[in-house]
Amino acid sequence: MNRRTLAGRAVAEVGLGCMNLSHAYGVPPEPAVGKALLHAALDLGVDHFDTAALYGFGRNEELVGEALQPFRQRIFLASKCGMTGVDGKRVIDGRPQMLKQTCKDSLRRLRTDVIDLYYLHRWDKRVPIEESVGALADLVREGHIRSVGLSEVSAQTLRKAHTVHPIAAVQSEYSLWTRNPEINLLTACRELNIALVAFSPLGRGFLAGSVTDPRDFVEKDIRRAMPRFQSPHFGRNRKLLDQFNRVAWQAGCTPAQLAIAWLLSKAPFVLPIVGTTSLEHLKEDLAAANVNVSAETLQTLEPLINADTVSGPRYAPETLAEIDTEETPRAG
């Protein structure tokens, strides 16, 4: 794969988000299956691996640590703090002492002495961003992490945090059907020389065509609570895929590859991370880096799937209240 810069280091332009192997989309695969997928990703050229203390309430970091520790010098390892599992529940806590304790626990689970990029997973709005970032700056000075990142924040918060300590990357949901970073965040990243790591580049499977009926989601699949996958929004959104799929096949690639190619074209500092439990899908996604799609073809996608044509917000109201990203006003 081609290379892009992340926290001062050249990495493959498509990375692997490891969440799916332990968390979020129903019953995760057995650890042995997850470990095999991580090893396969290495063989396919992936060297940017993204996890978090939240995923599986620590189990994902344990899996990543066990699988990748022998290859630690070959990989770029990212994790997150500020949102963890406490007594079986998701808790946002950005207090400095909590962030430092989470880092200590993460280092143990990841079987490493240092984390290459450590994100504040969510800004705890009860704690000034300067205090949380200050704690992460302490971790840099102490040698526990190499660089600081933020996740799901606005351009305003990013700029404020950047005055406390240089922010190497901001992670945000970004895809054809989630354009929030285009409001202000992309501009801020460009001006401040900050990478934008795009998670859910396939719209949580929607753009890949893998979601045909949300009623098939298993009980613990987080998409069950997302309005875009609920009636009446899903029916409206499903109609967008017919033309999108035709564009992909005419371009000689799969819909998933077209979605990733579109994202790679947005800016050289945008780095998608894909997530999957399937080796076949992983190979398909990574091949997007070598898909040759014309600028004209990519441009046809802009009016097709965007903030105005997609029906429904990306999260339920209570979750949106926890997030600091700019939101496009929506009619429905």
pLDDT tens digits, residue range 307-331? 999 999 999 999 999 999 998 766 4
pLDDT at 332: 45
Radius of gyration of the chain (CA): 19
| Residue 18 structure tokens | 């490891």
Identity of the residue numbered 324:
D
**Strand 195-199 to strand 148-151: parallel, antiparallel, or no bridges (unpaired)?**
unpaired
Query: By the 8 A CB rule, do 109 and 65 touch?
Result: yes
Q: What is the pLDDT of residue 330?
A: 60
State the amino acid at position 230 in one-letter form: Q
User: Cβ distance 255 to 248 under 8 Å?
Assistant: yes
Contact 120, 82 (CB under 8 A): yes
- What CATH superfamily classification does 3-320 receive? NADP-dependent oxidoreductase domain (3.20.20.100)
- Residue extents of the structural domains in the chain: 3-320
Three-state DSSP class for residue 10: strand
Percent above pLDDT 90 for the chain: 95
Q: Say if residues 197 and 150 touch (Cβ distance below 8 Å).
A: no
Cα–Cα distance measured from residue 181 to residue 196, given in angstroms and rounded to the nearest whole number: 9
Rounded to two decimals, the pTM is 0.97
Whether 55 is catalytic:
yes
CA dist., res. 43 & res. 32, Å (int) = 17
Place of tokens 């609920």: 230
Residue-wise DSSP of 17-58: E-GGGTSSBSSPPPHHHHHHHHHHHHHTT--EEE--STGGGG
CA dist 28 and 160 (Å) reads 37
Q: How far apart are the first and last CA of the chain?
A: 39
* pLDDT reported for residue 26: 84
Catalytic residue (one of 25, 55, 118, 119): 55
What is the four-CA torsion angle of 244, 219, 16, 185, rounded to 10 degrees? 70
DSSP 111-156: T-S-BSEEEESS--TTS-HHHHHHHHHHHHHTTSBS-EEEES--HH
If you count them, how many residues does the chain have? 332
Those residues with Cβ within 8 angstroms of residue 332's Cβ, 6 or more apart along the chain or in another chain: 233, 311, 312
User: Quick check: 30 and 318 in contact, CB under 8 A?
Assistant: no
All residue ranges of the chain with pLDDT < 50 are 331-332
